[in-house]
Amino acid sequence: MACCSFSVSSKAIKVNIYQSLVGQVDPKETPMRQQYVGKVRFAHFDMHVQSSKKVLVATEKNVFASLNTRTGEVYWRHVDKTGPEGNIDALLMHGQDAVLVVGNGRLLRSWDINIGGLNWEIVLDSGSFQSACFVGQQDSVKYVAVLKKSAVSLHYLSNGHQKWVENLPERYVIHRYQAVYSGGNGEVYTLGVVPHSHITIVAYSVEDGEIIKQISVDAPWLSNIQASCAVVGQGMLICADPATVSLYMLDLNVQSQMTQIPLQSLGLEVSPGFQPTVVSTQPNPARPPHSEFFVQLGPDHYQLLQLNNGQIVALRDFKPAMLVSFATTGEKTVAAVMAPKNKTVSYFEDTHSFLSRACSLNLFSAESGRRLLDTTLIFNMDPNGGKPEKLYVQAFLKKDDSVGYRVMVQTEDHTLTFIQQPGRVMWTREEALSDVVTMEMVDLPLTGTQAELEGEFGKKADGLLSMVLKRLSSQLILLQAWIAHLWKLFYDARKPRSQVKNDVTIENLSRDEFNLQKMMVMVTASGKLFGIDSKTGTILWRHYLDNIPSNAAFKLMVQRTTAHFPHPPQCTLLIKDKDTGLATLHVFNPIFGRKSHITPPALPQPILQSLLLPLMDQDYAKVLLLVDDQYKVSAFPSTKNVLQQLQEMASSIFFYLVDSSQGRLSGYRLRTDLSTEMIWEVIIPTEVQRIVSVKGKRPNEHVHSQGRVMGDRSVLYKYLNPNLLAVVTESTDLHQERSFVGILLIDGVTGRIIHEAVQRKARGPVHLVHSENWVVYEYWSTKSRRNEFSVLELYEGMELYNSTVFSSLDRPHPPQVLQQSYIFPSSISTLEATLTEKGITSRHLLVGLPSGAILSLPKMFLDPRRPEIVSEQSREENLIPYSPEMPIRTEWFINYNQTVSRVRGIYTAPSGLESTCLVVAYGLDIYQTRVYPSKQFDVLKDDYDYMLISSVLFALFFATMISKRLAEVKLLNRAWR
């Protein structure tokens, strides 16, 4: 078995020779990283400089960032804690300062928007956050008012110090203060409501926080101020009431009754069942808001109104209008209105029509409601995108004092599109990619000529002559392509190298020599799918699936790869509602993103389990089995051929189900009539521990070597059970002395518990990788308060039970299990193992660290056979002596300085080169690179000396020739003698 140890090197040599024949690959590639910010919650344009190129965004991913409005790139970005702790509640902008309220009113921060530096940060008093606003006096903004549930506080804008804090007068338990407002007259108003009873308004003096006045007005129809009211003009509160279809007006300065103005009296009508809303604008916090405001009367109906001497005047009606927004530049305030361009087709009726997908934007003077000339902007909606959701307008004064503008449109699929007049899209940002849920890498298709050649064999033979003709024609095409290629080479050679740029488009996509460039199919939480070129990061296609439930679970499967020309590759996405269990299938072509014409089966029953079989139908699509809650199995595709194959194979198709709420793992076998029968059951009592994860092996994993050569030249065979499941449990008792993490290795076919171990005084979250004959997991040790890695390896022993076939049903001997643990000096975010084409290359673990680094940790360090005492034999085996601490060496970071924020998952895929594994890390950012766990043993070095090698070869050749000749002469001479 000594050959085992040499096999790697001999393969390496073979590959080397092959490479030298083919030529060189580009061994150095630039890793691709893209930074995202997440779905935008607040956005403000930097207005304090006329020529500013910044837009500040605060997102639902707790990111505060500045984007370049020319290119869409991130100037700077601050990533806060995840979860409610880092939640951005409010973003206020004034001049160079951006004030943020973070973590449900926990922190108040001020940032300098030019450089992204923190001006100051203060901790606010506890209490849930309600509202915040700037407070100005005499045309200058000096303070920030923060309204909490029970107190209002005023802070200096310059340093954040608290000027005063006042408790809110509370007469009723259900009293809720919801809004704070200041009109620049030295008073701060807090608006509270007792739902369905009355409004309370408390005015504080800016100087000392003294209550100036307190008003209470009956408003039995009102429940939420922020949703239905706005302050307009000189302190006039305007609320909309859907029940009586009227507006209510209240002057904050004088205590009075609310005046009711029926909308009908203004000639307005509200769409049935629609809650009208009031939109006002206050461009300068030191001055009162403008007296013009919008009232939304229906989903696509807006009305511009004006408050004129206490009277409401209707200025202009906008219908259909999808979105409206005010914008101010200098002294001019305009209203931007987005309307569907083709007015005959209603926007909401026909979302799939391409005709209705164009929108036009226009500017209207806010004072008069007149349309401004030459302000039309066309926005062509992406047919594969979502509907527009928000509109951010950047208005500016042109040289001739007229108003110009650019808009940033946010659509349902979290995309930001920045458009300039008359409709030029300057950039788009696909913020859905900040939340990638799952992904796959698909091989690119062959080039047209290659495909043509393949197609020749794909078709059925129809006669000798036609076959010959076909062959000749394809050879001609090849020749033509080759000449074209040569011509291109010649043409490009004259150009300087920097100009030769090949832009990747969907048309010229083709597989490269070593299959290093692939299509990354990414599924995001918003339901948008992307096809991204792995080399450049260019988004080649996108497809937005609407009607995705918010709590959907996704599973992406490649049913047919690109290898089966002329059949197009096919991916299937299983979308499952986590609550109801109901699922839908989306079948698409992963290269072009188009929805397949194959209609997936309707799934009326909740789906428990899905499995992709290696069985193929006559069109080379792998069969997907779906198990519903009646334990009935349906196949997709379900052609006759497939059903027949399934019937033949039924007795050898097993699957398992996990019900973590009951701690039940059960195994099923398929019957010929596609029903199932339960064949084993393991129940882990939920009183003691709960199942947190179950992981099998990756189906496309190859293991090159069946055993390990020991120091004494004997072989230790690996236990390579492809059906093995690693089940991780965590104890329900979380006390640090009694908590534990359980690891069960179960055979998925027979339900046999192969190994059962508990890691005492340990706690999750557990990260686990299961591959070949090993399982690596990471946990938190509560006793020592550190992260620890543990590795389990399974061996059959010195003899193999059955070396040709592995069958779970016929392995009576339990494997030997070796285990060792190590201290890891950092917590980790995610764990994955490298994967190569044939499994010859040694394995590395890819560890995503919270710091944003990705560590490539050699599996060699996680080897339970690492000896405590070094012996001759262990040295022979190249085992590293045991040391309890796992080092983190900086040269192991594969992303160097390219930090990847909040890594959530790492995806690995093999490439055509055995030495190379493609890695994609995703989280807030997306990072793609290649790793070479055993160095590039199958690629020639850059500085490979071809001249030297060939000259030596030639020299040797001639030397042999000459010496041969000389030897002959000598022999002849001797014979003569």
Partner 1 sequence: METTGSANVSVPCWVMFFRSRAPVLIPVRMSCLLSFKLSVFSTVLLLLCTRFVCCNNGRRVGDALDAEFSGFSVPLEHSFEVDDVAKFRVRGALVLKAGREPSVSLSQNQLSEEDRTKLKEVAAVDGLYRIRVPRVFLQADRQTERQMEGYLTAFVRACAMVESHLSDVIALHTDVSGYLIGVSIVTFPGACRGTEVEDEVDLEVFNTTLSIMAPVNAPGPETALFLERMEQELERKGKNPQEQKSFFAKYWYLILGGAIFLMATSSAQPPAGGDREQS
Q: How far is the CB of 17 from partner 1 (least distance, A)?
A: 10
**Closer CB to partner 1, 90 or 909, in the complex:** 909
Stretch that binds partner 1, among 182-190, 409-417, 534-542, 572-580 (CB under 8 A): 572-580
Site string for partner 1, 906-935 (x = CB under 8 A): ------xxx---------------------
Q: How far is the CB of 696 from partner 1 (least distance, A)?
A: 5
**Closer CB to partner 1, 417 or 821, in the complex:** 821
Say how many residues touch partner 1, by CB under 8 A.
Answer: 133
**Residues of span 17-76 touching partner 1 by CB under 8 A:** 18-19, 22
Site string for partner 1, 622-661 (x = CB under 8 A): ---------------------------x-xxxxxxxxxxx
Helix, coil or strand: residue 64:
strand
By CB under 8 A, name the one of 173, 489, 869, 947 that touches partner 1: 869
First vs last C-alpha separation in the chain? 55
Residue type, 490: F
**Closer CB to partner 1, 7 or 550, in the complex:** 7
Q: How far is the CB of 513 from partner 1 (least distance, A)?
A: 5
107-122 exposure pattern, b = at least 16 Cβ within 10 A, e = fewer? bbbbbebeebeebbee
Q: What is the 3-state secondary structure (H, E, C) of 772-816?
A: CCEEEEEEEECCCCEEEEEEEEEEEECCCCCCCCCCHHHCCCCCE
Pairing of strands 107-112, 97-102: antiparallel
**Closer CB to partner 1, 85 or 677, in the complex:** 677
DSSP 8-state symbol, 920: E
Q: How far is the CB of 678 from partner 1 (least distance, A)?
A: 7
Q: Cis ω on the peptide bond leading into residue 320 (within 30° of 0)?
A: yes
By CB under 8 A, name the one of 274, 348, 482, 954 that touches partner 1: 482
- Indicate whether 582 belongs to the interface with partner 1 (CB under 8 A): no
Q: How far is the CB of 545 from partner 1 (least distance, A)?
A: 18
Site string for partner 1, 808-847 (x = CB under 8 A): xxxxx------xxxxx-------------xxxx-------
What span, in angstroms and rounded, lies between the C-alpha atoms of 624 and 555? 12
- Indicate whether 470 belongs to the interface with partner 1 (CB under 8 A): no
Place of tokens 């097993």: 654
What span, in angstroms and rounded, lies between the C-alpha atoms of 827 and 849? 7
In Å, the largest CA–CA distance within the chain is: 140
- Indicate whether 450 belongs to the interface with partner 1 (CB under 8 A): yes
Q: How far is the CB of 512 from partner 1 (least distance, A)?
A: 9
CA–CA distances in Å: residue 797 to residues 182, 706, 710, 810: 79, 11, 12, 16
Provide, for the chain, the percentages of residues in helix, strand and coil under a 3-state DSSP scheme, each rounded to the nearest 5: 15, 45, 40
**Closer CB to partner 1, 111 or 822, in the complex:** 822
Q: Which residues pair with 755 in a beta bridge?
A: 745
- Indicate whether 502 belongs to the interface with partner 1 (CB under 8 A): no
By CB under 8 A, name the one of 189, 680, 795, 922 that touches partner 1: 680
**Closer CB to partner 1, 118 or 678, in the complex:** 678
Place of tokens 């004129």: 308
**Closer CB to partner 1, 240 or 439, in the complex:** 439
DSSP 8-state symbol, 885: B
What span, in angstroms and rounded, lies between the C-alpha atoms of 531 and 230? 43
- Indicate whether 883 belongs to the interface with partner 1 (CB under 8 A): yes
**Residues of span 716-775 touching partner 1 by CB under 8 A:** 720, 722-723, 732, 740, 742-743, 746, 748-753, 755-760
- Indicate whether 868 belongs to the interface with partner 1 (CB under 8 A): yes
**Residues of span 303-362 touching partner 1 by CB under 8 A:** none
Q: How far is the CB of 507 from partner 1 (least distance, A)?
A: 20
- Indicate whether 885 belongs to the interface with partner 1 (CB under 8 A): yes
CB atoms under 10 Å from CB of 967, counted, come to: 10
What span, in angstroms and rounded, lies between the C-alpha atoms of 819 and 77? 43
Q: Are 387 and 412 in contact (CB under 8 A)?
A: yes
Site string for partner 1, 776-815 (x = CB under 8 A): -----x-xx---x-x-----------xxxxxxxxxxx---
Listed in sequence order, the residues at least 6 apart from 473 whose beta carbon sits closer than 8 Å to its beta carbon are none
**Closer CB to partner 1, 250 or 746, in the complex:** 746
Site string for partner 1, 507-526 (x = CB under 8 A): ----x-xxx-----------
Q: How far is the CB of 874 from partner 1 (least distance, A)?
A: 14
- Indicate whether 378 belongs to the interface with partner 1 (CB under 8 A): no
Region of residue 616 (phi > 0: left; psi between -120 and 50: alpha; otherwise: beta) = beta
By CB under 8 A, name the one of 703, 860, 880, 940 that touches partner 1: 703
What span, in angstroms and rounded, lies between the C-alpha atoms of 42 and 76? 16
**Residues of span 146-175 touching partner 1 by CB under 8 A:** none
Listed in sequence order, the residues at least 6 apart from 241 whose beta carbon sits closer than 8 Å to its beta carbon are 221, 222, 228, 247, 248
- Indicate whether 272 belongs to the interface with partner 1 (CB under 8 A): no
Q: How far is the CB of 915 from partner 1 (least distance, A)?
A: 10
**Closer CB to partner 1, 151 or 649, in the complex:** 649
77, 82, 85, 86: CA torsion to nearest 10: 10
What span, in angstroms and rounded, lies between the C-alpha atoms of 663 and 846? 30
Q: How far is the CB of 82 from partner 1 (least distance, A)?
A: 19
What span, in angstroms and rounded, lies between the C-alpha atoms of 32 and 12? 28
